[in-house]
Structure 1
Amino acid sequence: MAFLIETLIGGLLSGVMYALVAIGFVLIYKASGVFNFAQGAMVLCAALTFVTLRDQGLAFWFAALVTLAIMVVLAIAVERVVLRPLMNQSQITLFMATLGLSFVIEGMSQLVMGASVHELDLGIVDTPVEVGPILVSQFDLVAAAAAGILVLALSVFFNVTRIGISLRAIADDPQAALSIGIRLQRLWRIVWGVAGFVALVAGLLWGSRQGVQFSLTFVVLKALPVLIIGGFTSIAGAIVGGLIVGAADALAEIYVGPLLGGSVSTWFVYVLAVAFLLIRPAGLFGERAIERV
């Protein structure tokens, strides 16, 4: 029983980090209806930029601030130069634009800062913490706490602040929001800037966990089931979806994998996501599309 609880807790803590990546998608999709597939490349770019600055001798917090400024500028530039001119195009055109953009950001990041694997040390000791008979990773606890604080701050931002309420109005009805004087372009820049900040936090946590390397962009693939299960327009959905994906992934690897004779972590959560698509296409917290004819 103790091993089961340890596995479940480890999966839930990993799920919070998956949710952190998924929130980057939710922010942009909620405000502009664009599925930004380049979010994974932004995570890699943030982690690479930070470790490169640290290798140049910059202090931790100064390197973090410089990286944050670079990520915010990059995110705003992507919105202004690439996506805004395509805003009246179809959803598939916008998606393909972000897909191509992801390869450009990955390639340019590795061209400028190198493609070798970098170690990222955040000063978090990865030793187990004893909670009664249960052992929990200290790194997972700190990373999940940091991700949870950011998620809480973003939830307050969206539900309490004037900018957040304006963004929700744009998501509900862009034309009505424009008619009452809400400045759409300014708010989109803010959202993309926040997405750049989320990419930085996710890049630091995931880079510290598995090293800063090209495969860091694949974290975005685990965020897709999170979005499908939780819903593409809900921060709360990203949190719940992340917890479900993390727990299901960890438990399936331990208990289902041996029955099937191999690892199932690469595909099990996608089967779960397909099941959700068949039962509840909008996700647990997603907004169902209502079409009137």
Structure 2
Amino acid sequence: MSFFFEVLLGGLLAGVMYSLIAIGFVLIYKASGVFNFAQGSMVLFAALTFVSLLERSVPFWGAFVFTLLIMLVLAWAIERFVLRQLVNRPPITLFMATLGLSYIIEGLAQAVWGAQVHGLDLGVSDEPFELGGMLLSQFDLFAAAVAGTLVVLLSLLFNKTRTGIALRAVADDQLAALAVGIRLHRLWLIVWAVAGVVGLVAGLLWGARLGVQFSLSLIVLKALPVLIIGGFTSIGGAIVGGLIIGASEKLAEVFIGPIIGGGIENWFPYVLAMLFLLVRPAGLFGERAIERV
């Protein structure tokens, strides 16, 4: 039984990191109603910028602050030169814009920093740590603590502040929000800036685990089942969905994998997502769309 809880807790710790990725999508979706395909490229760009600065002898916190400033400038540029021109356009137009941004950001990262693979050491070892008779990775505990703290702060920001209220208003109806004086451009800038910060933290955590390489941008695919289960419009849903995916994939790999073959961890989350699409398409906490004709 202790082994079961060890696997379960390890999956929950990984799930917190999945939630962090998913929240970046939720923020953009709530503000514009579109799936931000460029989130993975932002994660890669942030991680690649940070590790490249470290390799050029820039101190850790200096590299962190400089990378943060670059992500904020990137968010401003996206809002100013792309999103501002697409206000009130159909969601598919915004989606295609983020798809194009994804390739532009990846190409920019490669042009500036190169395409080689980098190792990233955050100073936290991956040695096992004993807790109540269970062995847990020290890095997993650290990453979950950092990701969990940021998730809580974001939840408070968008649920307890005027910005959060405005965000919910924009999510319901952009035209109505504009009519009552909500500055959509300013809100988009804030949301994309926060998404940039999330991308930086996620990039450092996942880059330290997987290495900083261009396949890091594909980490967005791990967020899809999380969003489907939790709901595209709920920060709380992203948290719950991440925990469900993290725990279920680890348990499936350990207890079901030996029966039907290895590698189940890679596709089992998508099985859960498909089941949710069939039973509850809006997710656990998503808002069901109601159309009147």
Q: TM-score band, normalised by the shorter chain?
A: over 0.9
SS at match of 2:264: coil
CA distance in 2, matches of 1:132, 1:256: 25
Name the aligned partner's letter for residue 67 of structure 1.
T
Give the equivalent residue in structure 1 for 2:49.
49
Name the aligned partner's letter for residue 166 of structure 1.
A
Name the stretch that deviates more: 69-78 or 217-226. 69-78
- Scaled by the length of structure 1, the TM-score of the pair is 0.97
Q: CA deviation at 1:180?
A: 2.0
CA distance in 2, matches of 1:75, 1:260: 45
Alignment of 1:1-293 (within 5 A): 1-293=1-293
CA distance in 2, matches of 1:83, 1:185: 8
Name the aligned partner's letter for residue 206 of structure 1.
W
CA distance in 2, matches of 1:220, 1:104: 17
SS at match of 1:207: helix
Name the stretch that deviates more: 88-97 or 282-291. 88-97
Q: CA deviation at 1:262?
A: 2.8
CA distance in 2, matches of 1:269, 1:18: 12
SS at match of 1:266: helix
- The answer (yes or no) to whether the contact 2:34–2:92 under 8 Å persists in 1 is no
Aligned residues, how many?
293
Q: CA deviation at 1:181?
A: 1.4
Q: Could you tell me which runs of 5 or more consecutive residues in structure 1 were left unpaired when the two chains were aligned.
A: none
SS at match of 1:265: helix
CA distance in 2, matches of 1:262, 1:127: 24
CA distance in 2, matches of 1:145, 1:7: 18
| CA deviation vs aligned residue, 1:108-151 (integer Å, no higher than 9, x gap) | 21221011111111111222111121111111111101111101
Name the stretch that deviates more: 73-82 or 140-149. 73-82
Name the aligned partner's letter for residue 88 of structure 1.
N
- The answer (yes or no) to whether the contact 2:27–2:195 under 8 Å persists in 1 is yes
CA distance in 1, matches of 2:85, 2:278: 35
Which consecutive aligned stretches of 4+ in structure 1 deviate over 6 angstroms post-superposition? none
Name the aligned partner's letter for residue 208 of structure 2.
S
| CA deviation vs aligned residue, 1:215-245 (integer Å, no higher than 9, x gap) | 1111100001000000001100000000011
SS at match of 2:82: helix
- The answer (yes or no) to whether the contact 2:230–2:285 under 8 Å persists in 1 is yes
SS at match of 2:265: coil
- The answer (yes or no) to whether the contact 2:18–2:222 under 8 Å persists in 1 is yes
Q: CA deviation at 1:179?
A: 2.1
Name the aligned partner's letter for residue 104 of structure 1.
I
Name the aligned partner's letter for residue 101 of structure 1.
L
- The answer (yes or no) to whether the contact 2:88–2:174 under 8 Å persists in 1 is no
Q: CA deviation at 1:275?
A: 0.4
- Scaled by the length of structure 2, the TM-score of the pair is 0.97
Q: CA deviation at 1:257?
A: 1.7
- The answer (yes or no) to whether the contact 2:46–2:200 under 8 Å persists in 1 is yes
Q: CA RMSD in A?
A: 1.2
CA distance in 2, matches of 1:248, 1:73: 38
